[in-house]
A and B are shown apart, each in its own frame.
Chain A
Amino acid sequence: METRSTQLLKGTLDMCLLATIAQRPCYGYEMVQQLAQQGLDLVSEGSIYPLLSRLQQHGYIEGYLVASRDGPKRKYYRLLPAGAKQLEKWQAEWETFVPAVERILKGARSDA
């Protein structure tokens, strides 16, 4: 059964990926490492790829191949203007959502 944190992460992973790519272009495994460094451990790391494809289909990001010295080309992702706009929108939604949940939780704690 999925834990609460897994469910929460599922609902926000696309936003986290977009924010990660907004910092600098990176490839799939790099994104997973960056998320882990921030404290977000994915249950299945591969779940980022369908989301990256979706973000690409929506025109928020684009993939490009970069030649590698010690192996085949690697696919990097970079943010597009539409993605930057969408990220701003999602951030605004998040900033409204989180305080609302916090108020409810704090209310529950003070009642108890």
Chain B
Amino acid sequence: MHKADQQTQQQISDLVEACAGYWELRGIARASSHEMQLELEQHLQQAVCDGKSFEAVLGPNPLAFAEAWAREMRPQVFRGGVALRGLVYVLSIVSTTALLSQLLGHSPAFTFTLFAAYLLTGSGLLALLLQLGGFLAPRVRTRAGREALVLACVVLAVLVLRLAGLQVNWNMALLSWSWPMTIVLLTLAAFLFALDCWRSSQGEHTSTASASWPALRSVVTFVANVGVYDIMLFFGSVVVLDFCRLALRLV
């Protein structure tokens, strides 16, 4: 039995991470997901050592494999995990951005522009694509190659939009609301997050090991994710706006 080389080991890690990301999106409980990752990683390692391909384990479509396993982990009543998790993140990011800009700008109202919506959707999609890009591991061997492919797709999509002559007013206000509405949105986000945590905890019965402080860990991870996203959105908007202005001047 020979040990997998470093590149193969990296491919295995990327595949397992992509599956884990997908299972998280599907609302699989963290403890269950950890066990699934462990089983998959050990199986892939043993299979590679026995000279088998990734396809021999996962079939031609790793995403379909991840979905098939996720489907069996979720009782019917808990379907819709992706939608709820996505809604929680969008609401949290939008409400905290509104809160920060109202606090920092001493403004009574917050305006959600088309540019903010574009940035939010675009960066969310990019984060998702980069995460799920690990599914390409059997075809594109290096991680850099996969990331380059995803980024190339994004650049292509932006170019297509630009060439299609999409002229829009990025400062167009989509929504505008005052302090009470921000508080309502924050409360709603907190309620939905609690609901999502409860829903995830209901799936724990299939796992053999219970993680210590699972609720606290979920809260910390979630707050950190939203915080990082807010910071990225703030700095990203400045950088992207400058870049867009420069690009428009050049084109």
Q: Interface of A with B (CB < 8 Å)?
A: 27-29, 32, 43-47, 49-51, 53-54, 56-57, 62-65, 71-75
| Chain A residue, CB-CB nearest to B56 | A45
Contacting A at CB under 8 A, from B38-64, are 38-40, 42-43, 46-47, 52, 55-59
Determine the main DSSP class of B at the interface with A: helix
Binds A, one of B65-73, B91-99, B172-180: B65-73
What are 16 sample pairs from A and B whose C-beta atoms fall under 8 A apart? A27-B39, A28-B43, A44-B56, A44-B65, A46-B59, A46-B65, A46-B69, A49-B36, A50-B71, A50-B72, A57-B206, A65-B208, A71-B42, A72-B42, A73-B38, A75-B39
Hey, which chain B residues are within 8 Å of A47, CB to CB? 59, 65, 68
Query: Could you tell me the distance between the alpha carbons of A24 and B113 in the complex, rounded to whole angstroms?
Result: 62
Distance in Å: Cβ of A54 to nearest Cβ of chain B: 5
Compute how far the CA of A27 lies from the CA of B39 in the bound complex, rounded to whole angstroms: 9
Q: Do A72 and B38 contact each other (CB < 8 Å), given the known contacts A54-B72, A57-B206?
A: yes
List B residues at the A interface (Cβ < 8 Å). Answer: 35-36, 38-40, 42-43, 46-47, 52, 55-59, 65, 68-69, 71-73, 75, 206, 208-209
Task: Indicate whether A63 sits within 8 Å of B43 (C-beta atoms), given known contacts A47-B68, A56-B206, A57-B72.
Answer: no
Contacts of A27 in B (CB 8 A): 39, 42
Closest residue on chain B to residue A43 by CB atoms: B59
Query: What is the minimal beta-carbon distance from A10 to any residue of chain B, in angstroms?
Result: 12
Residues of the A chain whose Cβ atoms lie less than 8 Å from the Cβ of B40? 46, 49
B57 touches A46 (CB 8 A): yes
Determine the distance from Cα of A44 to Cα of B68 in the docked complex, in whole angstroms.
Answer: 12
Given contacts A47-B68, A72-B42, 12 further A-B contacts (CB under 8 A): A28-B43, A44-B55, A44-B56, A45-B43, A49-B39, A49-B69, A50-B72, A53-B69, A65-B35, A73-B38, A75-B38, A75-B208
| Cβ of A21 to closest chain B Cβ, rounded Å | 14
Please report the C-alpha to C-alpha distance between residue A27 and residue B59 in the assembled complex, in whole angstroms.
20
Kindly state the separation between the CA atoms of A32 and B208 in the bound complex, as whole angstroms. 22
> Chain B residues near A73 (CB, 8 Å)?
38
Of all chain A residues, which has the CB nearest B66? A46
- Asked if B209 and A46 make an inter-chain contact with CB atoms under 8 angstroms apart, the answer reads no
- The 9 A-B residue pairs with the shortest CB-CB distance in the complex, in nearest-first order: A44-B59, A53-B72, A50-B72, A50-B68, A50-B69, A29-B46, A45-B57, A54-B72, A46-B57
**Within 8 Å CB of A44, what residues of B?**
55-59, 65
User: Which residues of A have CB within 8 Å of B58?
Assistant: 44, 46
B63 to chain A, nearest CB (A): 12
Contact of A65 among B43, B46, B209 (CB under 8 A): B209
Q: Say yes or no: A63 contacts B208, CB within 8 Å.
A: yes
Give complex CA distance A62, B206 in Å: 9
Query: Which A residue's beta carbon lies closest to that of B67?
Result: A50
Note all chain B residues with C-beta closer than 8 A to A50.
68-69, 71-72
Chain A: CB-nearest residue to B65: A46
Q: How far is the CA of A100 from the CA of B85 in the complex (A)?
A: 50
Contact between B39 and A28 (Cβ–Cβ < 8 Å)?
A: yes
Q: A30: nearest residue on chain B (CB-CB)?
A: B46
Q: How far is the CB of A1 from chain B (nearest CB, A)?
A: 13
B77 to A: closest C-beta gap in Å: 13
By a CB distance below 8 angstroms, the chain B residues around A74 are 38, 42
In the complex the two chains form, what is the Cα distance from A75 to B73 in whole Å? Answer: 16
Interfacial chain B residues near A28, Cβ < 8 Å: 39, 42-43
